[in-house]
Amino acid sequence: MKRNVTLSLEEKLISQGKKIASRKETTLSRIVGDYLKQIVEDEKAYETSKKKALGFLNKGYHWGGKIPCTRDELHAR
């Protein structure tokens, strides 16, 4: 379902945008809509990646090896 929205933009920006849209054989509305869609998709991808990365950090990694002594043993004087 599509809905109309009203934007307030500078007249010069609108004019330049229409020229670009004309060269690309599309509309200014399509250009703005596609750009907004890309921003939303990027934000979703970022949030997904962030959750995945935080999950890895919470889980932690085991890089192998064995700790030969405790912290207290290392710092004993």
Q: How much is the pTM?
A: 0.69
pLDDT on residue 77: 63
pLDDT on residue 73: 86
Candidates 26, 31, 25, 41; CA nearest to 7 is 31
Domain boundaries, the chain: 11-59
pLDDT on residue 29: 95
**Any idea what DSSP says for residue 26?**
S
Alpha-carbon 41 to chain mean position: 7
Q: Could you tell me which residue, 6 or 75, shows the higher pLDDT? A: 6
